[in-house]
Amino acid sequence: MKMTEVYVVTGEGRRFVGELEDMKVNVEKTVRLMVENGSGLIIKDSSPELVEFLLDLQKRYPWTGTINWNPPPLPTMEEAEKSLSARIADADERGNRYLADANEAAEAGKTQKAERLYMKGQFWLDRSNKLRGNS
């Protein structure tokens, strides 16, 4: 089973990446220790999967001025759908372009180049299908 990888970016710009549950444990330990010691913690950015957790953390460890976290605005459903449709269109365009280039290379007798281009084209068409929900 593949676990979800998430990230947190601190005020100094340090990026921490890890598995979702491990990251929650580590962030909570860090926040608890820093609050107990009167230090501050600035979280500039995080994975969307951590937003609810970080908001809950602020409630469980009430402090003023020690954490400055501005969650990124969540896209509206319309923006998310546009983004998905744009990604699908991009994957289709790339896949078809690589397949066309592969056919040209095959016709020119460049079989190794054609094979590489066919693999790239298939990668992008597979991605397009995955984005559509077809696996």
- Give dist(CA 59, CA 19) in Å, integer: 23
The total domain count for the chain is 2
Q: Are residues 89 and 49 in the same domain?
A: no
- Give dist(CA 46, CA 16) in Å, integer: 9
Mean pLDDT, rounded, of the chain: 82
Of residues 128 and 36, more confidently modeled? 128
Look at residue 65 and tell me if it is in a domain.
no
Look at residue 114 and tell me if it is in a domain.
yes
Q: Vertex 107, ends 102 and 110: CA angle to 5°?
A: 65
Q: Are residues 91 and 50 in the same domain?
A: no
- Give dist(CA 135, CA 133) in Å, integer: 6
* Section 106-124 average pLDDT: 93
Domain hosting 85: range is: 77-132
Phi/psi of residue 12, nearest 5 degrees: -85, 0
The whole-number pLDDT of residue 68 equals 53
The whole-number pLDDT of residue 40 equals 64
Question: Is residue 88 a contact partner of residue 131, using CB atoms and an 8 Å limit?
Answer: yes
Look at residue 88 and tell me if it is in a domain.
yes
Question: Taking the complete model, does pTM exceed 0.85, yes or no?
Answer: no
- Give dist(CA 105, CA 118) in Å, integer: 10
- Give dist(CA 93, CA 2) in Å, integer: 30
* Section 81-92 average pLDDT: 86
